[in-house]
Structure 1
Amino acid sequence: MSANEDQEMELEALRSIYEGDECFKELSPTTFQFRIGDHEDPKAFLLDVSWPETYPETAPQLTLQAFFNNRISPTTKQDIISKLEEQVEANLGTAMMYTLFEWAKENQADLMEHHQPVKDAATLNPSNETSSPVCSNKKKEKKEQLTKAQKRKMISRTDNKGELPRGWNWVDVIKLSKTGGAAED
């Protein structure tokens, strides 16, 4: 069998096994995402797998670069990838995705045993240490909120372009002159 036939057969098997499973996501016919653990589980992670053209004769590409994994330290990610790559090497030449996903689910505790949650992934610097958190005591200035009546009044004053007509806030000089609105001495 050619590599493409093997891939098609494994893809069909994965679709039938994981149909309706929210942990499995097929991003393309050769790229998959599998969540190990529940959403609420702090030790859960998303495994991204991509098949090269010659898969299963060559190893698939495994990554943990999904945003979901930002709370996992880089050293823990590297440990997980290296342990998964050992499983890939043991299964090279065969359809291994189901085996790999199930092995990761069964060994999730071992894979995440040294996991120390990263509090804020944005504060990581390249040396994998967390820097002191930046204090953000700035309060956003609130815009003055208009009531519905005020909004309706504003809309009724505008033309079809949303602009107020020229002189909308001018005093009607003619009315004032007729009513005797001039200052009294």
Structure 2
Amino acid sequence: MTANEDQEMELEALRSIYEGDECFKEVSPVSFQFRVGDLENTKAFILDVTWPDTYPESAPQISLDAFFNNKISAETKQLILSKLEEQVEANLGTAMMYTLFEWAKENQEELMENHRPVMTTVTLTTCSETTALSSTATKREKKEQLTKSQKRRMINRTDNKGELPRGWNWIDVIKHLSKTGGKDED
């Protein structure tokens, strides 16, 4: 069989095995993601696997660069990749995706035993630094200025709470109909 026929057969097998499994995702016909562990588990990780043109005769490309894996240290990622490379070497020349995924699931605890979640750093700034930054970065927006007569008219229209009285903008229906005319029925 050619490499493409082997890939097609393995792709069909993976689709049937992992149909409906939320841990498996087919990104493209030659690229897959497999989550090892539950979403809530701090020791869960995602394997990104891509087949080269000559797969299964040559090794697939395995990566742990998914955003989901950001909390895993570089040392732990390197350990996982080296252990998976050993499995790839042992299964070279055969369809190995199912074997790799299941091996990773079974050995998750061993792979993640030295796992310490990576913490991201947050920079704190003082209040004076924040105001200095905001005053230089953005210009002040000017409010619309009203004339004295506009202010007087607005105050005369409002009550003591600053709200307009009910019906201030109502129209006189009779006056309006006399100007526009009513419907003439023919």
With structure 1 as the length reference, what TM-score do the two structures score?
A: 0.69
- Report the equivalent of 2:89: 89
Q: Residues 4 and 111 (structure 1 numbering): CA distance in 2 closer, same or farther, change over 3 Å?
A: same
CA-to-partner distance for each residue in 1:96-145, whole Å, 9 max, x for gaps? 0000000000000000011111011xx4xxxxxxxxx522566x99xxxx
- Matched AA of 1:82: S
Equivalent residues, number: 140
Measure, in 2, the Cα distance between the counterparts of 1:47 and 1:97: 11
Q: Secondary structure at the match of 2:5?
A: helix
Structure number having the greater helix percentage: 2
- Counting aligned pairs with the same residue, the percent is 69
2:124 to 112, 135, 139: 135
Measure, in 2, the Cα distance between the counterparts of 1:172 and 1:135: 49
Measure, in 2, the Cα distance between the counterparts of 1:137 and 1:80: 42
With structure 2 as the length reference, what TM-score do the two structures score?
A: 0.69
Q: Residues 137 and 65 (structure 1 numbering): CA distance in 2 closer, same or farther, change over 3 Å?
A: farther
Measure, in 1, the Cα distance between the counterparts of 2:75 and 2:102: 23
Q: CA deviation at 1:171?
A: 6.3
Cα-Cα RMSD: 2.5
Instruction: Establish whether residue 10 from structure 1 lines up as the match of residue 10 from structure 2.
Output: yes
- Report the equivalent of 2:54: 54
Q: Residues 136 and 18 (structure 1 numbering): CA distance in 2 closer, same or farther, change over 3 Å?
A: farther
- Matched AA of 2:16: S
- Matched AA of 2:58: T
Larger radius of gyration: 2
CA-to-partner distance for each residue in 1:124-179, whole Å, 9 max, x for gaps? xxxxxxxxx522566x99xxxxxxxxxxxxxxxxxxxxxxxxx9955668xx8xxx
Structure 1 gaps of 5+ residues are: 124-132, 142-166, 177-185
How do 1:14-163 and structure 2 match up within 5 A?
14-120=14-120, 123=121, 133-136=122-125
Q: Residues 4 and 116 (structure 1 numbering): CA distance in 2 closer, same or farther, change over 3 Å?
A: same
